[in-house]
Amino acid sequence: KNQVEQSPQSLIILEGKNCTLQCNYTVSPFSNLRWYKQDTGRGPVSLTIMTFSENTKSNGRYTATLDADTKQSSLHITASQLSDSASYICVVTTSDNYGQNFVFGPGTRLSVLP
């Protein structure tokens, strides 16, 4: 069964500190992996996309990595800000007989404290 797991479930850090969120997936076939940021009570927004051939990609203070061999991805946040407080969701795009399908992780809840 296709599955995406994320750790930790929740994380509290102080403003200015760095953190790393983890995503492990057992999804086949693999098309790409996206990290979404979801502010409380709002819809998720895509942060970055990782394809099979990419190892690292940065988007400002966010850096995502992908190890296709171990089926792991991470999202590293540098110099955290209060506005980084949100849930971060890992979503893997796969396919079935009908076309694309999306497998969601449960998310990591990040709280950045002043």
Question: Which residues contact other proteins by CB under 8 A?
Answer: 31-32, 34, 36, 41-46, 49, 51, 54, 89, 91, 93, 95, 98-100, 102, 104-107
CB closer to other proteins out of 102 and 113: 102
Shortest Cβ 36–other proteins spacing (Å): 8
CB closer to other proteins out of 4 and 112: 4
Burial class (CB in 10 A: 0-12, 13-18, 19+), 69: exposed
Of 87, 94, 76, nearest to 33 by C-alpha is: 94
Q: How far apart are the C-alpha atoms of 23 and 34, rounded to whole Å?
A: 10
Q: How far apart are the C-alpha atoms of 112 and 11, rounded to whole Å?
A: 8
Shortest Cβ 32–other proteins spacing (Å): 6
Shortest Cβ 106–other proteins spacing (Å): 4
